[in-house]
Structure 1
Amino acid sequence: MDLALDEHRSARLLPFTRTELASELPRVSRAVAAQGEVVITSHNKPEMVLMTLERYLHLQEASRPSLGRLSQEFEQLYRAMQGSEPLDGVSSVFALDGEALGRNAQLAAQKSRPKA
């Protein structure tokens, strides 16, 4: 991913060069502790992000799906499928003859193709 440094500044990540990281680790560490995270640059391009352990653990936890959230999503999908609309759609597909089914399949395939 090749992002401009300005894109990270808009996210309020304080930039440090790799040279500053190597030579001024205590100052960079204080900035990480104060802000939660900083971006490390190389030749004025973002290369990595340093963050506090607390911020890292928070991101790790947020990336894991919770059983409660997955259960809610399943229940919503299940309820949506219980109405008559999905059943009517399935019934109408099975009511088509082979020729009509083929035409509908072709139309669906054409719609799903990426446009050049």
Structure 2
Amino acid sequence: MKLLYIEDQPVNARVLSLFVEKLWGDYLSSVETAEESFELLINEDFDLIYMDINLPKMNGLEAVRHIKNQLNLKDIPIIVISANTNEKVISEAIESGCQGYLKKPVRIDELKRLTEEALKIN
């Protein structure tokens, strides 16, 4: 699996990287801004994106819409990972085309379940 995490806090990216390595033995690519991810997404094929909401400059929901519409990557699954527990924000994420919403701190069992559902892995 080729996974990307868009997260501006290196500690959070490292924790998720350890989870991904433990669960599937895969490497997690990460960038700190939405803008950094766009070039990466144009040049590389990822199976799934994990997206923080509170990013510098462009926020995560704007980034989701950009990825789905401007980059025309409508089929790539995106799972939001955020400390924001506002139901309106969660609804907006799902309406924007995200396959799931994980609340921080991330629980490894929830990460596994949502990722495998999004990628249709048994």
TM-score range, shorter chain: under 0.3
Larger relative contact order, structure 1 or 2 (CA cutoff 8 Å, min sep 6) = 2
TM-score when scaled to structure 1? 0.26
Which is helix-richer, 1 or 2?
1
TM-score when scaled to structure 2? 0.25
Q: Rg bigger for which structure?
A: 1
